[in-house]
Structure formats: C-alpha cells, structure tokens
Structure 1
C-alpha cells in the first residue's frame, strides 16, 4: 500500500474505531463483535507502524499510554473551574432558592437540573477543531496539572467529537468527572492485595491516584470511566438550558449520566434527592450527593458567581459514610458457626447519620494486612445496611503507644482451643457445645431467616437461655405458657401468643427447616435445591457424598459439611427430639406447580402487600430460587418502593 492509500485507510479506521468505542463505552450498545473490533484495531496498528508520520492525536492507538513523564506540567484554565457551595438539608436547599429569588427579584417558578454528584476527580478537556488536545485536573481552580496523556487512556473520553450535533465550535472546553466503577475498584484492590501493595481507601482515591501516575501506561491499566457535566462557556453552544446542553453533548459523543433529571420546581428536586439517597448503594459507582443547577442559561448568566462558586448551582451532600476515630480495644465474638470475629471498640463517631461505636475487623489476616493496632486513629466506613468496617489506620497520627492486636488461642466463650481450618481465613471454635454458638444458633433458628417464630427475637431468646428454659432447639417446642408468664416483662397474653406462634411454626417445609438449622455452606438457595432433590429429611440424611454433589449449587465444602452434620450422633438425637416434641417437617410434594422452576429472584426494599419473607416463600413454592445478593444467575429483581432501605 502506498502512502496516499495508507492515509485514506487510516482515516477510515480512526473514524470506525472511534465510533465503535462510542457505541461500546458510552452507549453500552456495540454493533460489532469483539473479534471484528480487534481486526480493525490490529489493521490500524500495523499501518501506523509502517507509516509512523501518519499517526494523529485522535488515533485510538494513543489510548494505550506513552512513555513515563518526568513531572506534571501546569495548565492555566481559560475560565476558572469553580467549586460548588454545599447544603446539607432540605431547609438549606430552600434557602438556596430564596437567595436566587432575592438576587433576581424573581417570583416565577424556577426550573432546575438535578444530577448525581460523583465521588471522582473533576477534569477539563479542551477540543480544537473537534480533536482532544489538552486535559487537566481542577487544581486550585485557576491552574491545574496537565494529564492529557493519562486522560487519553480513558475509553469513555472521545478523542474526536462525533459530528452528529451539526457545527462544532472550533474550540470547546468540556468539564466532567473521571471515576472508577465499584466492580473495577474491588478488582484493583484484590490485585494489589495479592501483590502485597497498599490498598486504595475508596474509589475516589483510586481514580485520582490512577490519573496522577507519571506513567500513562499504568493509568491505561486501571478501570476508569467518565461522565460529562458541563462546558466552560455555554455561549459557544447552541443550547439555552442545561438539559439541552446534555442532549447536545451526548450527540457529540460524551457519556451523560442517565440519572440526570429536569426538575420543574424545588419540590421535584427534593423528591429526586430522596430517590438518589435510596438507590445510591445499588449504583455501579459511588455518589456523595446531588448537584442542583438552575436549568436556564439566561438565569445562570444573570446570577453569575462569587470568587469561589457559582450562585446558580449547589451540591446537596449526603450524610458522610466515612469518618475517622480511634480504636480503644478489640472484642472477639463467637458466631453460630464457631467463627471468631474481631470487632473494634471505637470512640463514638457519627457516620451516615448513625453513631458508630463498633466496627468489624473481619479476621486475623485483615488485621495483619492493614497493620491495625489498639490505639490507632483509623478511617471507618459505613455503606448501606452493612456493618461498619475499619478501612485503614492513619499511620501519620501514631504516637508509639499503640499496641498490637493479639488473637486469642482459646475460645473467649468456652475456653476450647481455637483452630484455623486449612484454606480458610477464619479462626474457629469447633466445640459443638460452645454456649455462644448454641445461643446464636437458637436465635437464627427462630428468627426471620429461620422458622420466623413471632415473639422469639434475639432479646427474648437470650432471656429464655439465661433463665435455663431453652438450651437446645427441642426446648423451644417444650415451652409452656406457665414457663413464660412468670418471666420478667412477660404476661399471660404475651406467653400465649408465643406458644401459638411456636405451634404455627411446627410444620415447616423441608427447605425452610434446612435453612433454619444453619448448617455451614447451606443457605436458602442450597436448602431449596436439596429439598427438591431428596424430598424428605430422612432421604437427605442418608444421602451419599456423590449424591449430594449431584445437586445444583452443592460443592465439596457443602457436601462435606452436610455429611459431618448429619453423621453427628448429637445432631441425630436432637432431630429425633424435635419430632417427638411436635415438629412435623413437610416433605416436598409431587405435582406442585413449578412455574418458576428456572428463575432466580432477588428481593429488595419493603413490599406493599406482603413481607419480603412471605414473598420469598411464595416464589419458592413455585419452584424459584431466592438470591441474597446480585449475581449473574439472578433473573428477576423485585424492588419495593424503598430499595435497600429495609
């Protein structure tokens, strides 16, 4: 191929590959296979190798990262990259609107644009004649760092603008947020942990650290993405509102957050904030609030800005999910499966609107990997309904008085020697008569994930155990009204209600009973599969290892756990006692409609006409499985009006 043909072919390849990158990384809607894309890219690289002087700035080959930089140069922003003022309540938001009204002498309804506030790194992108030429960080708002080479590696940033929006300004300055999706962040930290490298505390730190790598090839290896949120000068665009701007930028090839919403009034803004607060933990990226902008550019220009922030926009922040505090001591808790979990006792601190005094340290390996010590000032995190956890120590605040965290050699509840099974990170008490395990097994058995016996929650079960009325599962079914009504805080009516609830729970289906037993590696889904395969408890107890391994979802650990459990003489005696005291386990009936046989349901939020446990039971009766977390097997998600809130 001669030079002229190569020049034309390279132009075609650049256009095609940039278009397919846009379809894949921005629209999430590819129109060619990975193999076809690879062929185009390979041809581009081969031609550029033969004709290196024909390589252009907008070539997709420039995303892989160039040689390392000696240092970052500075870039002066043509127009300042201002910060946003923050508000932290609905009252403060309404004060923001009142200030706008007073400033403008405005009595009509004000329309807004509301969008998630990503917890990433703000950047500025300069396009000359439609080609990306300079990229920089916010810096101090007037001067930032030149990270053009690093930003070229972010696939969601177009190297050349799409000509779908008509005339493109000769110079366009775009601003947006580079972020790291949660899945990529977790994978990156796993990889760093395997190499013994320090972990990133959160996705924002990971994104910022990735963009500030002097070697762009390191940035290229990181799972970064980008959302556009504005331009430096709206006058160069054909748009008159924020919403029009987003549509125009999308046609140019930029990735616009799909949760951006036009709000006709302040009430809609408030409702949108509440919605984003509910769904934030279901998103694939972290957000720390919502940005509210006056939608009209005319009003934006009239409002102008102070020396540090625009008057027409504000960030409504969520309550903090991270905070720093100090580890005062460490408590070791024994779970129902014997797992010994270290829990940090903290100086009280408010995180996400909740006072936190305890946080999990997971296991001995995590303590050693993070180098945590008693007396450390630490960063803690609380996300969604998850128990708070310690992220890392603030090493710079150490005084030398900190003490190592020493794991006990014996069970803190029963004194039995602790063991660490091969291949596990967890240290366990293997004494089946350990009182801590027994109590937690009883609580689990009677709780919502077990037989759901109303009136036998954690507090009441602890009272029954302390009073000596319940020592093992069969004792629950031996309880009498006379035993209960004498207890502190009980009466005849409450005692009768609990006995009535016990009787109602005494005919559980096999799958629910199996799940309630709390056998290691046997959750709701596996219990349902076992019940479906063996039909009755008797058949399951006599199953061989080979038969167990034939059941979908039962691996070697679960099979061995089941064999160990049902071969234990004490367990068999306990099961006999249960049946002698009125427990009648319902076998799986043949001929029951199985219309949902191949479906896997995930329930989230509070349902309107029934509880989640009732809904789970209904779909399992029809043959479905129920998942507890999002995974690739989930076929149906049932979301109540308040997802992740209950």
Structure 2
C-alpha cells in the first residue's frame, strides 16, 4: 500500500491492520492502552529536493529569534513547501546549511516540513554561510543567549514583533480562543494604532471596525460576540494566554486550580510555585517574575476592569483521574489541530481514560497525539524515540470505552 499511496485520490500516512473476526478480537483483548487485535503501521515520510533561497529571522512572543529557510517552492505530500524552520544557530551549524544549498526536505509524520540534510556534493562555490544576527531584526536591541538555552532572544518586551505576537497568541484557539479576531486583523489594528497591548482587545470600538473596508456591521458584531465570550473564560486559559515563557496549558491548569483569583499569584513566593507537582524551577522562576512585575499586574487589573474574568471557575478546579481507564498511568500530550474535537474536549477524554495531560515533550511522556499542522513537539518526540505517536483517530479508538 505504501508503494501505491500516490495513486489514491486522497492523502494517507499509514494504515491500521486489524483482526476482523469479533470472536478473535475478544480472545486477543486489550493492553492498558490499545487493543491487541489492531496494529498501526506508519508509512515512511516523503522527501523532496529543493534550494535554500535565503534565511530570514523571525521574533516570537517571548523574544525568541528563529531562523526560517526560504525555499524554492516544492510539492511534497500534498502541499507546497517554501518555508522551513531552522530552529536555532546550533541546528544550522550542525547540519551545515548554507544559503544556495540544495537540501533534502521531508514532512515529519507527513505534517511538519523538515530539512534532513544539505546535499553538499552539489555545491558549486556560490553558497553562503548563514550569518546569525547580533541585534534584533525588528527593534535592533542587542540579542542575548541564556546559558541554559540554544536560542538567541530579544529582551526588549516592547519590541513590535513581540507585542504583536503576544496579541496573536492571546487570541489563538489554544489560549483565549477569540473567534473573529485572527492574525491579519490584529496586525491591521496594530498598524491603525488601535492595539498596543492585550488589554486593548477588550476595548475595541466596534462602530469604527464596522466602517473599515472588508468588515461591516455583521463582522464587527461577530467579533464583539467572540470577545465577550472569551471574557468569561476559565482562568487557566487566561494564564496560558499571557505568554509567560514555558507556561503551557498543563501548568496553567495546575496554577488555576490553586487560586481563587489570578492576582493571588502576586502574593506567592518562589517556593510556593516549586511546591506544585510538575512545576519545575525554571517555570517557577518565570511565573514568579511575571507576577512580581508591576506593569504586568497593572495590565491584569486593567483587563479585569474591562470585564475579563479573573476568578476561578468550575472548569479550573481539579479533576479526579480514572484509575480504571485504559490509559491509566500514561502521560499524554496533544499537538496540532484536532479535527473532531477541541483540545479541551480531548484533554477531558484523556483524563476520563485515566491519563494525565503533560505540559511538554520529555522522556517521561508516554503518548503524543498528533493533529494537523503539528509543531515542534512531534519532532522532539520522534527524536526521543520512546514516545508513542498516535493520530487523532487512534486516540478516539483507544479511549472509546472510557
């Protein structure tokens, strides 16, 4: 089937081989996390060759400066690939990737574009080494490289790129999940001077928005409804949306379960953060520093005055793990876009099946469920080699009795 996959009128990345007699299935039974009568078979990742035209540097919401290879467009596994993350300076040096190089590209898990290697034997002498910037490509502040990281960072919190990326992340599906306010709209509103911080999202003038080209009263009304809905979110979503370095969804839930009000965290000492299971010293320090910053406290107070919920909801409270579930004792993580359920629904289903939801990929992670457009978590899990990689369909099948 792998040899003939290109002949199908739809994309496939593997197959599940099953025993098709129900009585034999009953005889085979289940392990703690999958049926013994079914086995997933993943096809090899597809590959293609193209050329690196240039390397650009992008600044993220926490100041991380990431190199991105601009490729000559190449079709690969049903999509056209023209941009590939190069992760960090060490990745570039280790793989000896140069501008002008012919490179071998694949889509890891048929999802994430990834440069496997440079084809150095095809070099003709015109290739150029990638020069890593010493200053932020946006605000021109001097870049720094923390001792425990491989990434160079811009430490100017008011850097335009960081401000915009923080607002984009704040409204994203995994954070406050604000419908009707996408990336291009945020950039447009920022350039118009309507947005300077995440608090400004909650005081937009909808009459002005309705008069903008490409909008209208209906679009403005939909945006207003999306924002007002988000204002009632559980506080774990708010905490995750604040772009605190290393503060993911799981850790946000852990913190939200411990406080009645978000601003209670400003009264915590460092040790109290570290006392929470699964909150390590680096994350504890980052969250502590965030809530000791007067500007951040003023930002949250402003948001609360605009109607954003800061109080613990039922969704923030601790949930019991099902010790009889098929995934009991397993840690699970979701990455990419799920097509049949929201991330929140998936995590609840995992908990009902007995799993604990992890905050990131580590040697302790048991299962990574991969949706569309999966991020770096998939690559890290594959590099570890100890993590089970499941599709959304596999996850649903293995938790259907939970």
What TM-score bracket applies, with the shorter chain setting the length?
A: 0.7 to 0.9
Cα offsets for 1:229-266 (capped at 9, x unmatched): xxxxxxxxxxxxxxxxxxxxxxxxxxxxx83779xxxx
Structure 1 residue aligned with 2:103:
378
Of residues 352, 357, 367, the one that matches 1:626 is 357
Distance 1:465 1:418, change over 3 A: same
- Counterpart in 2 of 1:237? none
- The answer to whether the 8 Å contact 2:17/2:40 transfers is no
Do the aligned residues in 1 keep the contact of 2:257 with 2:312 (CA within 8 Å)?
no
How far apart, CA to CA, are the structure 2 residues paired with 1:572 and 1:621? 36
Counterpart-to-counterpart distance in 1, 2:286 and 2:333: 26
Distance change in 2, residues 1:468/1:622 (3 Å): farther
Partner Cα separation in structure 1 for residue 343 and residue 167 of structure 2: 22
Query: Residues 321-359 of structure 1, C-alpha deviation per residue, up to 9 Å, x if partnerless?
Result: 211111111000001111000011111111112111111
User: 565-574 or 335-344: which moved more?
Assistant: 565-574
- Asked if 1 retains the 8 angstrom alpha-carbon contact of 2:322 and 2:352, the reply is no
Q: Distance in 2 between matches of 1:565 and 1:603?
A: 26
Superimposed CA distance per residue, residues 573-609 of structure 1 (whole angstroms, 9 cap, x where no aligned partner): 211111121112221559968333887555588565x
1:556-581 CA distances to partner (integer Å, 9 max, x unpaired)? 11011112211222212211111121
C-alpha separation between the residues in 1 aligned to 2:310 and 2:221? Answer: 23
Distance, in Å, in 2 between the alignment partners of 1:618 and 1:86 is 35
Specify whether residues 603 and 333 from structure 1 end up closer, same or farther in structure 2 by C-alpha distance, changes over 3 A only. closer
Q: CA shift at 1:615, angstroms? A: 4.5
Return the alpha-carbon distance in structure 1 between the equivalents of residues 274 and 292 of structure 2: 17
Cα distance, 1:440 vs structure 2: 0.9
Confirm or deny: 8 A CA contact 2:235 2:316 kept in the other structure.
no
Tell me, yes or no, if structure 1 residue 474 matches structure 2 residue 199: yes
Give the stretch that moved more between structures: 552-561 or 376-385.
Answer: 376-385
Provide the rounded CA distance (Å) in 1 between the counterparts of 2:310 and 2:322.
22
What secondary structure sits across from 2:238 in the alignment? helix
TM-score, length basis structure 1: 0.49
User: Conserved in 2, the CA contact under 8 Å of 1:377 and 1:394?
Assistant: yes
1:443 pairs with 2:361: no
Contact 2:234–2:316 (8 Å) recurs in 1: no
Deviation at residue 287 of structure 1 after TM alignment: 2.4
Alignment equivalent of 2:180, drawn from 455, 470, 485? 455
In the other structure, the counterpart of 2:7 is 89
> What pairs up with 1:167-182 in 2 under 5 angstroms?
none
1:611 alignment partner in structure 2: 342
Matches within 5 A, 1:391-430: 391-430=116-155
Q: Quick check: which has more Rg, 1 or 2? A: 1
Q: Does the alignment pair 1:575 with 2:306?
A: no
Q: In structure 2, what is the equivalent of residue 497 of structure 1?
A: 222
Q: Give the equivalent residue in structure 2 for 1:206.
A: none
Shift of 1:544: 0.7
- The DSSP-based 3-state class of the residue aligned with 1:470 is coil
Q: 1:454 to 1:480 in 2, by over 3 A?
A: same
Number of aligned residues: 346
Report deviation, 1:618: 8.0
User: How many angstroms apart in 1 are the aligned matches of 2:18 and 2:392?
Assistant: 22
Q: 1:326 aligns with which of 48, 51, 59?
A: 51
CA distance in 1, matches of 2:140, 2:208: 31
Partner Cα separation in structure 2 for residue 536 and residue 349 of structure 1: 50
For residues 28-83 of structure 1, give each alpha carbon's deviation from its aligned partner in whole angstroms, at most 9, with x where no partner exists: xxxxxxxxxxxxxxxxxxxxxxxxxxxxxxxxxxxxxxxxxxxxxxxxxxxxxxxx
Select which of 20, 43, 47 maps to 1:287.
43
**Contact preservation (8 Å) 1:593, 1:622:** no
1:460 match: secondary structure = helix
1:259 aligns with 2:259: no
Give the C-alpha shift of residue 394 in structure 1: 0.7
CA apart distance, 1:627: 3.8
Aligned pairs (5 A) from 1:301-312: none
2:282 match: 557
Equivalent positions of 1:344-359 (< 5 A) are 344-359=69-84
**Partner of residue 29, structure 2:** none
Cα distance change of structure 1 residues 588 and 629 upon mapping to structure 2, 3 Å threshold: same
Identify if the C-alpha distance between structure 1 residues 385 and 558 changes in structure 2 by more than 3 Å, giving closer, same or farther: farther
Q: Where does structure 2 lack aligned partners over 5 or more consecutive residues?
A: 21-38, 370-389, 397-402
Q: Matches of residues 214-229 of structure 1 in structure 2 within 5 Å?
A: none
Q: Secondary structure at the match of 2:214?
A: coil
Query: Superposed, which structure 2 residues align to 1:28-47 within 5 Å?
Result: none
Give the deviation of 1:539 after TM superposition.
2.0
Structure 2 residue 301 is the aligned partner of structure 1 residue 545: no
With over 3 angstroms needed to count, the CA separation of the structure-2 counterparts of 1:527 and 1:591, relative to structure 1, is: closer
The answer to whether 1:464 aligns with 2:382 is: no
Secondary structure (helix, strand or coil) at the match of 2:131 reads coil
2:57 and 2:137 in contact (8 A); partners too: yes
Q: Flag structure 1 segments of 5+ consecutive residues without an equivalent.
A: 1-83, 92-115, 118-257, 263-282, 289-319
Deviations 1:494-519 (A, max 9, x none): 10111121111112222111111121
- 8 Å contact from structure 1 (residues 528, 625) kept in 2: no
Is the aligned partner of 1:363 residue 2:60?
A: no
How has the CA–CA distance of structure 1 residues 362 and 615 changed in structure 2, closer, same or farther, with 3 Å as cutoff?
closer
RMSD: 3.5
